[in-house]
Amino acid sequence: MATPIGNLEDMSARASTVLAKVAVVAAEDTRHSGRLLQHLGIHKPLIALHDHNERDKANRILAELEAGRDVALISDAGTPLISDPGYILVREARAQGMRVSPIPGPCALIAGLSAAGLPTDRFLFAGFLPAKRSGRRAVLDELSLETSTLVFYESPHRILSAVSDIAEVLGPDRDVVLGRELTKTFETFYDGPVSVVLEQLEADPHGARGEFVVMVRGASPTPGGADSGALDLDRLIRLLMAELPVKKVARLAAELTGRPKNELYQRALALKES
């Protein structure tokens, strides 16, 4: 079941009722969730279920379920399994024919998207970007032509490097929206071209503090179709690069495809390096 991502009033009435009824609560961090239960006046046995022990603990929780005792699965914040533990447990419970029922509620990525003003008809949630710069840039490069809105989670100590890599790999003009400390006292949104947002973040003394949802406008669609267009575009850039310097390649490709010159420049550089 989902629990608040900052504001305790976001705990749904149904989630509280069910939490009060179950026999056992499986929680990522029992101390953290113990405080939530205490706030709600609920006292239940807690089982710790986190990334490092999920395989072992899943068996213990499955035994509880088999014995007919209901178990609530919660994480530290938001919806379990969304960049949080629970996948192995839910998969196994389903495989064994047990009833798994969602109790929906807060989720940082949905909260962010609902207020960002970026297209939400198609979005791609990619979890946390890799911690190392090379890995992060490789993932961004892979997503550079994706036309869906991109959504990432990011920790405060990597937010500046992540935004700076987005600017370099996807181009400084790509629109981004950062949702910081959503539902909390210091909730802040930064939005605009990524180069501008990076400056705002650097200039704000509290900018790099707190938790972030990073949302990025998708690439402009290629005329003539998404995936086939993407493949043709790379081919076009490679063909031009065989004859011309990168800057000229970007200018010509922009004229031929109608896509932003800077985006094509970044793509040409990435193809050259790969």
* Of positions 183, 195, 200, 262, contacts ligand SAM by CB under 6 A: 183
Determine the straight-line distance between the first and last CA of the chain, rounded to whole angstroms. 43
* Of positions 153, 176, 250, 270, contacts ligand SAM by CB under 6 A: 153
Give the shortest CB-214-to-ligand SAM separation in angstroms.
8
* Of positions 163, 182, 198, 268, contacts ligand SAM by CB under 6 A: 182
- Alpha-carbon distance of 231 to 242, in angstroms, equals 17
**Closer CB to ligand SAM, residue 155 or residue 262?**
155
* Of positions 1, 5, 27, 216, contacts ligand SAM by CB under 6 A: 5
**Closer CB to ligand SAM, residue 208 or residue 249?**
208
- Alpha-carbon distance of 24 to 265, in angstroms, equals 55
Q: Scanning residues 238 to 267, which ones bind ligand SAM (CB under 6 A)?
A: none
Give the shortest CB-184-to-ligand SAM separation in angstroms.
6
If binding is defined by CB under 6 A, does position 77 make contact with ligand SAM?
Answer: yes
Give the shortest CB-67-to-ligand SAM separation in angstroms.
28
- Alpha-carbon distance of 218 to 230, in angstroms, equals 13
CA angle 11, 97, 76 (to 5 degrees): 25
Q: Scanning residues 192 to 211, which ones bind ligand SAM (CB under 6 A)?
A: 211
Binding site for ligand SAM (CB under 6 A): 5-6, 75, 77-79, 82-84, 107-109, 153-155, 179, 181-184, 211-213
